[in-house]
Amino acid sequence: MRQNRVKRILKEGGLALGTYSGGIADPQIIEIIGHAGFDAAFIDMEHTSLELRDVQGMVLAAERVGITPIVRTPGFDPALILRLLDIGVEGIQVPHCDSVATARAAVKAVRYPPLGERGMAGASRASDFGKIPLAEHMERSNREITLAVMIEDLPGVEAIEEIARTPGIDIVAVGPSDMSRALGVAGTSDHPRLVATIERVRRAVEEGGVARLALPLNHPAFPRDAGQLKALGVGYANVAPNPESRLLRALAQDLEKARAQLG
């Protein structure tokens, strides 16, 4: 397993920047993200129709351009997480982590013993089909795989101090959209309740000393630029929007310009 680019940046105290691959099931999207200079491609299985075979091709593309493929799973499913890791995914993001029990279970699913309980497959793609000795593969995986848990609901906020201290977690991510919904302030920007909640999570992560904070860049509910996120101690940020939105906007602008030239 190669060095995880995002994890290296986290350890160095920097801010890793990723972006969304969207619902376009084509490895070329990942290559484009890498050639653009991002550190990671955020592959979302929660809100898209992507299947495991789609993700495998995207992982191959990420390896080619030297970026970290991070997959958000559709809920917490240890069996799916195992399959994703065995095909070479370098980052797992678990949505809606609402308790320390869920956080600990995520660690068990992602980490090999003695840190967790990940099942062993000596000839998986992640171990170069068995070329890497099992003990070495296990050590590398525990060292290089990035695990993120998302705080998006009120129970997760109430348990954040314990969650943030859970060994084996690298990133605690706040989902501003779902958190705004949970707080009853959806559709607003910089609402005091959301700002206070994010501050509580930020403080818990800082005091826990185990993980780094993740927030999206320039999110409508919590609009902060890269410098502001860095000042908050954020270690990972996704840059919006997804490629479909970027393409639609660019196409519409080009068409508007062309039609304007017709008089």
Q: Are 17 and 227 in contact (CB under 8 A)?
A: no
- Active-site pick, 47, 96, 137, 191: 47
Q: Are 150 and 198 in contact (CB under 8 A)?
A: no
Q: Tell me how far CA of residue 66 lies from CA of 31, 40, 90, 96, 252, in angstroms.
A: 9, 9, 12, 29, 32
Q: Is 191 a catalytic residue?
A: no
Say if residues 106 and 94 touch (Cβ distance below 8 Å).
yes
User: Mind telling me the catalytic residues?
Assistant: 47
